[in-house]
């Protein structure tokens, strides 16, 4: 397995041969940045944790350049920060017992380029080798441009694969925009209540981001707790930690579905639900 960028890496925490490690994959996450996987795709990591029959494969597309830095990392150059972020992602892969971790090392501009083919081709190669049943990526309503660049390229890549190589499910999850606004009957709800210590450790290992002034550790746990508490207005909580997702599977089942219209449908149905509730009381 040879990655396109000379600076890209494949990390196998249990030192299995690369092809063997990737081919055992059942759950896969494709994210823009280091630490996105641990925020948005923890359900996949948790499903595979401690199992021999399920394996998680994390793929980080960009090099993490331009991240904020402070405290211990205040004087680090951009190149030094990229090395730190790669190391942190490997630490997370080890703690989470991932089957494999790919660091593709693309620039954000390459990911956001609508005409860029390299990222698409590389995703196709990795998915073809891994053949995961489930892929987690960013949601189509995320407010980070690089995240949107990744999810659209994931969809384009999967649409170009033979149907037999596409996953059974594709989910877009929460990072830079919550999905609590999605109508309840359309939310994909992931219960991630188990092993809260592992969940915390996976986010906390990204010290460069936390010291840089972004308390992703607290915010991530807080969001999941809020999702669980506010999931239903009547009755007691059935879970202590939830992640919400958007089901993107129809976009790879029907390659003619318009991506923009698909996400606008979620927004329109939410707006209609708000309108209907208001009209009932006016």
Any domain includes 155: yes
All residues at 6 or more sequence positions from 86 whose CB lies less than 8 Å from its CB, including other chains: 9, 34, 64, 103
Any domain includes 112: yes
**Distance of alpha carbon 171 from alpha carbon 186, whole angstroms:** 12
Any domain includes 85: yes
Any domain includes 3: no
Q: What is the CATH number of the domain that holds 56?
A: 3.40.50.10320
Kindly state the greatest CA–CA separation across the chain: 65
Any domain includes 2: no
3-class SS at 249?
coil
Q: Which residue has the tokens 């009209």?
A: 279
Q: What is the pLDDT of residues 71-129, one digit of tens each?
A: 888 888 888 889 999 999 999 999 999 999 999 999 999 999 999 999 999 999 999 99
Q: Which residue has the tokens 């997370």?
A: 92
Q: Kindly indicate the confidence band of residue 234, based on its pLDDT and cuts at 50, 70 and 90.
A: low
171: part of which helix (H) or strand (E)?
strand 169-173
Averaged pLDDT of the chain: 95
Report the range of poorest mean pLDDT among 31-45, 196-210, 234-248: 234-248
In DSSP terms, which residues pair with 186 in a beta bridge? none
Rounded mean pLDDT of 173-195?
A: 96
Task: Flag whether the pTM goes above 0.85.
Answer: yes
All residues at 6 or more sequence positions from 164 whose CB lies less than 8 Å from its CB, including other chains: none
Domain housing 259: 9-175+186-277
Q: What is the pLDDT of residues 263-275, one digit of tens each?
A: 999 999 999 999 9
**Distance of alpha carbon 109 from alpha carbon 68, whole angstroms:** 18
Check if the beta carbon of residue 173 is closer than 8 Å to that of residue 40: yes
Sign of CA dihedral 200, 106, 25, 243: positive
3-class SS at 101?
strand
- Structurally, how many domains does the chain consist of? 1
Rounded mean pLDDT of 157-170?
A: 97
Which pLDDT score, from 0 to 100, does residue 232 have? 80
Any domain includes 61: yes
């Amino acid at each position: 397995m040879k990655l396109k960028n000379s600076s890209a890496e494949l990390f196998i925490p249990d030192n299995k041969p690369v092809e063997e490690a990737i081919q055992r994959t059942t759950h896969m996450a494709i994210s823009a940045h280091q630490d996105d996987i641990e925020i948005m795709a923890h359900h996949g990591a948790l499903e595979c944790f401690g199992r021999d029959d399920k394996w998680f494969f994390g793929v980080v597309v960009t090099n993490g350049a331009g991240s904020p830095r402070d405290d211990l990392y205040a004087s680090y150059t951009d190149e030094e920060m990229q090395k730190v972020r790669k190391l942190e992602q490997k630490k997370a892969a080890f703690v989470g017992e991932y089957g494999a971790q790919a660091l593709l090392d693309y620039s954000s501009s390459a990911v956001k380029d609508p005409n860029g083919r390299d990222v698409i081709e590389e995703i196709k190669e990795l998915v073809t080798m891994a053949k995961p049943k489930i892929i987690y990526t960013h949601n189509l309503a995320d407010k980070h441009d690089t995240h949107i660049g990744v999810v659209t390229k994931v969809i384009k890549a999967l649409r170009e694969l033979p149907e037999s190589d596409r996953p059974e499910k594709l989910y877009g999850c929460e990072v830079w925009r919550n999905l609590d606004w999605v109508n309840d009957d359309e939310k994909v709800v992931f219960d991630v209540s188990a092993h809260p210590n592992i969940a915390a450790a996976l986010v906390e290992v990204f010290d460069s981001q936390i010291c840089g002034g972004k308390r992703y550790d607290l915010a991530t746990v807080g969001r999941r707790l809020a999702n669980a508490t506010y999931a239903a207005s009547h009755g007691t909580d059935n879970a202590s930690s939830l992640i919400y997702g958007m089901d993107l599977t129809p976009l790879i089942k029907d390659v003619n579905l318009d991506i923009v219209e698909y996400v606008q449908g979620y927004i329109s149905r939410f707006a209609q639900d708000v309108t209907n509730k208001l009209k009932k009381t006016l």
